[in-house]
Amino acid sequence: MIIAIDGPAASGKGTLGKRLAAHYHFRHLDTGVIYRAVAKALIDAGADPSDEARAVAAAHELDPEKFGHPALKTRAIGEAASVVSAFPGVREALLTFQRQFAAEPPGAVLDGRDIGTVICPNADVKIFVVADPVVRARRRTLEARSRGEDVDEAVVLADILKRDERDRNRPVAPLRAAADAHVLDNSNLDIEAGLMAAIAIVEAMKVARLHK
Ligand code: DC
């Protein structure tokens, strides 16, 4: 079974993906980390994230062993990831890795922006997570502070809105809900309640499939 979770920055899709995968004993891939790793490779090399040729080259040379690096989670890398992810050549280079990950048994949960629309259009379950931008900024700020980053919530909100705008309006694989996605608004849900809502969606899809 493949579960696709998409949604905007800081919507809670990553945490939900991880918890959902643990619940079903599936593998989990936070695909944002892949674009973040490309961005970090460029920054580490002193290159500009808007340098398309270098971004595409970095995407081809990516080392999945480095996806766990804590520096990938910073705001600056997230912003640069949004820039590199708009390049078609970068997305193309990362497609096979994501599809192979999804296809391996016993099942997988992938979260990102285009999982239900481009990477796994035939996913068994598609969930599109949304949350009020103010709530997302609050959560991201607390998360960054817990890592020791000194952040201003108003700046985080402005970043989130800018990133939403860029991710939604890029010509290639823009952030949008697939036609058959279930929208889950987690503005007012804590992690546990969000997980329960997602499990209810998955279970309903399993029952629906039995009756097809
Ligand atoms: O989910 P995140 O904040 O870690 O993602 C960082 C950036 O990567 C995001 O702004 C857009 C890009 N991204 C993407 O284009 N497609 C994905 N499937 C996941 C992330």
Is residue 133 in contact with ligand 1, taking CB distance under 6 Å? Answer: no
| Residue type present at position 203 | E
The H or E element spanning position 111 is strand 108-112
Is residue 82 in contact with ligand 1, taking CB distance under 6 Å? Answer: yes
Answer whether 77's CB lies under 8 Å from 36's CB.
yes
Residue carrying structure tokens 């520096």:
71
Predicted pLDDT at 24: 98
Q: Whose CA is nearest to atom 9 of ligand 1?
A: 82
pTM over cut 0.75: yes
Answer whether 93's CB lies under 8 Å from 60's CB.
yes
Pull the structure tokens for residue 24: 């079903």
Q: Taking the mean position of all CA atoms in its chain, how far away is CA 176?
A: 12
Q: Is the dihedral of CA 200, 30, 13, 56 positive or negative?
A: negative
Ligand 1 center to residue 85 CA distance, Å? 7
Is residue 6 in contact with ligand 1, taking CB distance under 6 Å? Answer: no
Is residue 85 in contact with ligand 1, taking CB distance under 6 Å? Answer: yes
Ligand 1 center to residue 116 CA distance, Å? 14
Length of the chain equals 212
Q: How many CA atoms lie within 13 A of 37 on its CB side?
A: 20
Answer whether 86's CB lies under 8 Å from 172's CB.
yes
> In Å, how far are 58, 87, 202 from 54, measured between CA atoms?
6, 11, 40
In angstroms, what is the C-alpha Rg of the chain? 17
Is residue 15 in contact with ligand 1, taking CB distance under 6 Å? Answer: no
> In Å, how far are 43, 65, 86, 154, 190 from 97, measured between CA atoms?
22, 13, 18, 36, 32
Pocket perturbation via mutation, ligand 1, pick of 6, 40, 77, 85 by most ligand atoms within 8 A of CB: 85
Q: Whose CA is nearest to atom 15 of ligand 1?
A: 85
Pocket perturbation via mutation, ligand 1, pick of 113, 139, 165 by most ligand atoms within 8 A of CB: 113
Q: How far apart are CA 32 and CA 15, in angstroms?
A: 12
Q: How far apart are CA 202 and CA 142, in angstroms?
A: 30
Q: Whose CA is nearest to atom 3 of ligand 1?
A: 9
Q: Whose CA is nearest to atom 2 of ligand 1?
A: 32
> In Å, how far are 135, 140, 203 from 165, measured between CA atoms?
17, 18, 33
Q: What is the pLDDT along the chain (212 residues), one digit of tens a residue?
A: 999 999 999 999 999 999 999 999 999 999 999 999 999 999 999 999 999 999 999 999 998 888 889 889 888 898 899 999 999 999 999 999 999 999 999 999 999 999 999 999 999 999 999 999 999 999 999 988 998 888 999 999 999 999 899 999 999 999 999 999 999 999 999 999 999 999 999 999 999 888 87
Q: How far apart are CA 182 and CA 202, in angstroms?
A: 10
